[in-house]
Chains A and B, each alone.
Chain A
């Protein structure tokens, strides 16, 4: 039966995706929830919580407030908190009960904006979608509202779009991607949204091309293309050969103004004996790297949201245990988060690739720097 999981974990939800994107940007993010979402987020979804302060709160919604539709309490609490903590902007994100009672987040944001004079965003997340959905909304909202018009850089310059600890942890992956780009001749204008200030994000339009490193960044890339004509390339630098392909794609996009997916094309992978489970862009990039380095094809099973353009021919979306199990049946090698291992065929070789958005902090110390430290995976695949 769909929707059941007898043993595997579940992905970070949409509301945490919003929080993760906005964490470092100096705003205040309010999860409109009774309780629970905050502790889930700060315990399992947010590795920066202990060491880096950020204004992420819950509204502490009560039964009576939900039943009576008391939005004034939410708005006045937000205004009071903003007075106390002086954020740069305010975001309000929803959870299941606000969905059920039909909370109008756009209206809440408008009221908060009127009351505080700060830019406010409302995100109609509801806790039934994955972090990709929420993060995508948040990135896109920033692309639509915060990025200023500006002169394009005269030299190659790039933004990274879609970086959150949910996909890249806090382990040097982002720094490695930046180094890869600078070594390749691109100045890095900003990274959405790890290690960049709000000002850097606002100046995103200077870039000559955008690099989309997760599905979460795609909507923002499209908006930036529409607003500023900046083309984008989708892919994560993994392995020497595929990374070179990615660099070429960036140069080509910059030259032609046409966007593309660096790992697109190639043969149908539906019969591949190696299966990768994970987020679309990172997994497909790794699959492309494996093929480039070893000649072996790998199929991606993507359990979170991904538009068709991010999947290769033969990759599939599969959300539930009952969808995944048959697709894993003939796999000889599975590369996935360790919490997937109980549903993998016993005779398949299992290569652990922990993913913060699935197993949280459990295997955090083993999450590899995807750009620099995936030699062990490529090495295993060469055997």
Chain B
């Protein structure tokens, strides 16, 4: 068994923010995978389309992870596979394999699903497989089924749209043009329902708008009705491509209102929402006061307890660190391997105002052997921060968990207090895949 003897602050895996480069503070090399598995993968996201069936056409090694993702969420009946073997690569019969394999699977199902998500893989991309031909043939064979092309091609994660972006785009590709209503909005690309207490939802509800969100859809018809919204709202960086695609294809105008932590940016988001949808724009002072009160109360309890944040908890880990530092919390580490452009302003602020804040890698090889413990009680926000610090006091959240706006700070403060007061077992809490997705092991 390996001994953990490495310096946790060794430059390969940790750097002061003052000394860090943006957006990639660490060199790229071999990568480690920590057993913090809460973020949703393409199977979880695809399952959000009610009544749909997923079929993966991949090599056995690639099928294994997705098959068991489905099995662990008790969704085997909505999931099938077609295995690529060596002979398919050598004989170049990949199109046949897709068409005949998908046909065979569909014939075996007790009834035809309204929608089928066919996932192809890196192999198809590299072999130049004629996917259009495959889908054309499948649509001819099954005219009552809506097919969409989905991708499990991680080799593209550093070029073009990432698999996560592609998935959050393709999950809306089955929407068809419908009469649109200005009084309806669709929230796009989220895995979690947006908190009803958020200013965004409050403003939409107060304005009498119908709000649609895939996380609330129970039938395929519910899903199709999302196309009736004249406006789409995206909140997460990987969801934007999906919004753009709907704007182009259906003419659904798009608002990008990111999950963020700064008060000014949140106010700008609400300005944009009000202006676009002609909604009354109230005063933010009450919302800000709620956030301030909650953060003050949390700070009183938590005091100088060190806090670590990670990138799986929120799309803006630097923004979150900044908010907490501005309110007197002792944020000591941010676990992230890179940042989106949206984080640049917060990065600059932290370099100037919190130069000793440590940025810590999560995939660098040393992460495997660094000590996973801290000398004093530490609060973690996010599963990776919990894992790497070894703390039992952590906020178990991924992708923001549906929080938005000033209200997100209120919720976070409440969750920080809870994490400070109540220990959790990281071993059982962070290992299930797809937090909140119905893990049934």
Contact = CB atoms under 8 A, between A and B. Distances in A.
B383 to A, nearest CB: 13
Interface in A59-100: 59-64, 66, 77-78, 80-81, 84-85, 95-97, 99-100
A107 interface: no
A53 interface: yes
B24 interface: no
B68 interface: yes
A35 B159 CA distance: 13
A38 B31 contact: yes
A362 interface: yes
Contact of B31 (A1, A58, A78): A58
Contact of A40 (B1, B32, B64): B64
Interface residues of B, number: 63
B80 A11 contact: no
Nearest to B430: A50
B83 A360 contact: no
Nearest to A55: B368
Interface stretch (B103-111, B190-198, B261-269, B290-298): B103-111
Given A55-B368, A66-B126, A40 B65 contact: yes
Interface string A6-45: 1101111111100000001010001001111111101111
Contact of B365 (A66, A81, A361): A81
B186 interface: no
B101 to A, nearest CB: 5
A96 B80 contact: no
Contact of B152 (A11, A26, A36, A128): A36
B59 A55 contact: no
Contacts of B431: 43, 50
Interface in B358-375: 363, 365-366, 368-369
A3 B83 contact: yes
B100 A53 contact: no
A10 B441 contact: no
B365 A129 contact: no
A4 B32 contact: no
Given A3-B97, A85-B368, A362-B71, A36 B65 contact: yes
Given A66-B155, A127-B62, A85 B121 contact: no
B37 interface: yes
B121 A96 contact: yes
Contact of A362 (B68, B86, B89, B127): B68
Nearest to B81: A5
A43 B427 CA distance: 13
B61 A101 contact: no
Nearest to A9: B67
A55 B37 CA distance: 19
Interface in A316-351: 320, 339, 342
Contacts of B158: 62-64
B100 A1 contact: yes
A6 B60 contact: no
Given A35-B157, A53-B1, A62-B155, A40 B108 contact: no
Interface in B419-441: 427, 431, 433, 441
A26 B31 contact: no
Given A100-B89, A360-B68, A10 B105 contact: no
Contacts of A84: 6, 12, 365-366
Interface of A: 1, 3-7, 9-16, 24, 26, 30, 33-40, 42-45, 49-50, 52-55, 57-64, 66, 77-78, 80-81, 84-85, 95-97, 99-101, 126-130, 320, 339, 342, 359-362
Rank and list the top 10 A-B pairs by shortest CB-CB distance, nearest first.
Answer: A127-B61, A13-B61, A40-B65, A1-B104, A35-B154, A34-B155, A57-B30, A6-B108, A127-B59, A34-B154
B30 A81 contact: yes
A43 B37 contact: yes
A346 to B, nearest CB: 14
Nearest to A101: B126
Contact of A60 (B31, B37, B59, B62): B31
Nearest to A338: B71
Contact of A78 (B30, B77, B152): B30
B82 A37 contact: no
A57 B28 CA distance: 13
B123 interface: yes
A97 B155 contact: yes
B85 interface: yes
A9 B70 CA distance: 10
Contacts of B108: 4, 6
Interface string B12-49: 10000000000000001111110101000000000000
A325 to B, nearest CB: 10
A4 B102 CA distance: 8
5 contacts: A5-B83, A34-B157, A60-B363, A63-B158, A66-B155
Nearest to A96: B59
B206 interface: no
Given A3-B97, A128-B59, A342-B76, A359 B68 contact: yes
Interface in B230-288: none
A128 B84 contact: yes
B433 A43 contact: yes
Contacts of A16: 61, 64
Interface in B69-125: 71-72, 76-77, 79-86, 89, 97, 100-101, 104-105, 108-109, 121-123
Contacts of A34: 122, 154-157
Nearest to B2: A53
A4 B71 contact: no
Contacts of B1: 24, 52-53
A38 B123 contact: no
* Most chain B Cβ neighbours within 10 Å, of A16, A53, A339: A53
A1 B402 CA distance: 43
Contacts of B68: 9, 43-44, 359-360, 362
Contacts of A361: 72, 441
A96 B433 CA distance: 24
Contacts of B80: 4-7
A95 B61 contact: yes
Contact of B86 (A85, A97, A126): A126
Contact of A81 (B29, B62, B441): B29
